[in-house]
Chains A and B, each alone.
Chain A
Amino acid sequence: MAIIVNLDVMMAKRKMSLNELSEKVGLTLSNLSILKTGKAKAIRFSTLEAICKVLECQPGDILEFVEEDRD
């Protein structure tokens, strides 16, 4: 997929575990896992806002656009 989720990178930078993030953001572990592994099809603004608040970052730090190879 062209949109890469760099949640694990930000979590590593903040030295935060998935459990801790899940508690602070108020998302279930399975939903966070879907987001982290790039299986998510969409993300709500409210979720993005909560994650950015907890990780003290910008949405661009979590989401990245990478052009896919055409061949």
Chain B
Amino acid sequence: MSKTNNFVFWALYSVAWIIFVGLSIEAGGLLVNFIISLYKPELIQSLYQKLDLTEIYKESRLAFFCYYSFILTIAILKACLFYTVIRLMHTMDMSKPFSDFVAKQIALISYYTLVIGFLSYLAHQVTKTMMHHGLVTDKLRPFWEDSDAYILMGGVVYIIGVIFRKGVAIQNENDLTV
């Protein structure tokens, strides 16, 4: 690997770590928010993002749990996605990248990304429907506004994963040709 590529790889590895830590903190913060909003709703204002959904809780418990399920699942999946990216970059042997492990990790990344994308899209549609029913949910928009980007990225990564898997099969066959 050339010096530039090596530098870019390590820079991306560091960025992936920073994003992973950020997403883990976000997921943890949201989880704490969820628990606090159930037992001590008056403390919400001093918590992460001041995400106060107690109004929704009072109006409809179903909507409250539905929103929090989406928020928490998406946040945890995002953290898992970047954990997979870190594990891939940490374990990958750049001198011999075509291995079953790398192919599996790329496939896993594409699945995570697609699930995040579709869940965000679904949550966005549910939010829209709920708005018609008078439940104010505008502050939730940032949690799932990038659903299209995730679906597109998931599709691209999935295609790369399929090509990579084919590459691994060809390399294995080549290794076992004498």
- Enumerate chain A interface residues (CB-CB to B < 8 A): 27, 31-32, 34-35, 39-44, 47
Contacts and interface: CB of A to CB of B under 8 A. Distances in A.
Interface of B: 172-173, 176-178
A44 B176 contact: no
Contact of B173 (A27, A32, A41, A43): A41
Contacts of A31: 178
23 contacts: A27-B178, A31-B178, A32-B178, A34-B176, A34-B178, A35-B178, A39-B176, A40-B176, A40-B177, A40-B178, A41-B172, A41-B173, A41-B176, A41-B177, A42-B173, A42-B176, A42-B177, A42-B178, A43-B177, A43-B178, A44-B177, A44-B178, A47-B178
A31 B177 CA distance: 8
Contacts of A39: 176
B178 to A, nearest CB: 4
Given A27-B178, A40-B178, A42-B177, 11 more contacts: A31-B178, A34-B176, A39-B176, A40-B177, A41-B172, A41-B173, A41-B176, A42-B178, A44-B177, A44-B178, A47-B178
